[in-house]
Structure 1
Amino acid sequence: MSKAVIALETLSCPSCLKKIENAVKGLNGIDQNSVRGVFNVSKIRIDFDEKMVTIEDVEKVIEDLGYPVIKSKVKAA
């Protein structure tokens, strides 16, 4: 499992964060219990299996919802 912190453009409402969390949880390879959004700093923390899903896949799902990703930081667990 790898860990990632994904920085987003400033989110305008907590329901936007929930929408992003739910979309990310729907991806295969994501540890659903690890998905944590932090609204006041517009970041998402996840644990994921790089054999099943890439950080680019996660970023694409978020951006397809209309929320630009500023940067992602990944570290192997």
Structure 2
Amino acid sequence: MQKAVIQLETLSCPSCMQKIENAVKRINGVEKGSLKVLFNASKVKVDFESEIVAIHEIEKAIEDLGYAVVKSKVKPA
């Protein structure tokens, strides 16, 4: 299990949070209970199984919604 903090460009509306949350929750290997989308900080915090899903796949799911990923930090949980 790994922890990721994904920094996004500034989120402009609370409904953005819901869209991101729904997309990331659908990814196999993501620990759904750990997922937090922080609106004011424009960050996504999530735990995931690195054997099942890679960080770039989570980033791509967010970018596919139209939200730019600035950077990601991954560390062991």
TM value normalised by structure 2: 0.98
Q: Aligned partner of 1:41: which letter?
A: A
Looking at structure 1, the residues matched to 72 and 5 of structure 2 have their Cα atoms a distance apart, in angstroms, of 6
Q: What fraction of aligned residue pairs are identical, expressed as a percent?
A: 61
Give 1:51's aligned residue: 51
Pairwise CA RMSD of aligned residues? 0.5
Looking at structure 1, the residues matched to 16 and 43 of structure 2 have their Cα atoms a distance apart, in angstroms, of 12
Q: Which structure 1 residue ranges, 4+ long, deviate > 4 Å from structure 2?
A: none
Gaps of 5+ in 1: none
Q: Aligned partner of 2:43: which letter?
A: K
Give 2:16's aligned residue: 16
TM value normalised by structure 1: 0.98
Looking at structure 1, the residues matched to 35 and 14 of structure 2 have their Cα atoms a distance apart, in angstroms, of 15
Gaps of 5+ in 2: none
* 1:1-77 aligned within 5 A: 1-77=1-77
Question: 1:48 offset after TM fit, Å?
Answer: 0.1
Indicate the structure with greater helix content. Answer: 1
Q: Deviations over 1:17-74 (max 9, x none)?
A: 1100110000000000000011001000000000000000000000000000000000
Looking at structure 2, the residues matched to 17 and 71 of structure 1 have their Cα atoms a distance apart, in angstroms, of 18
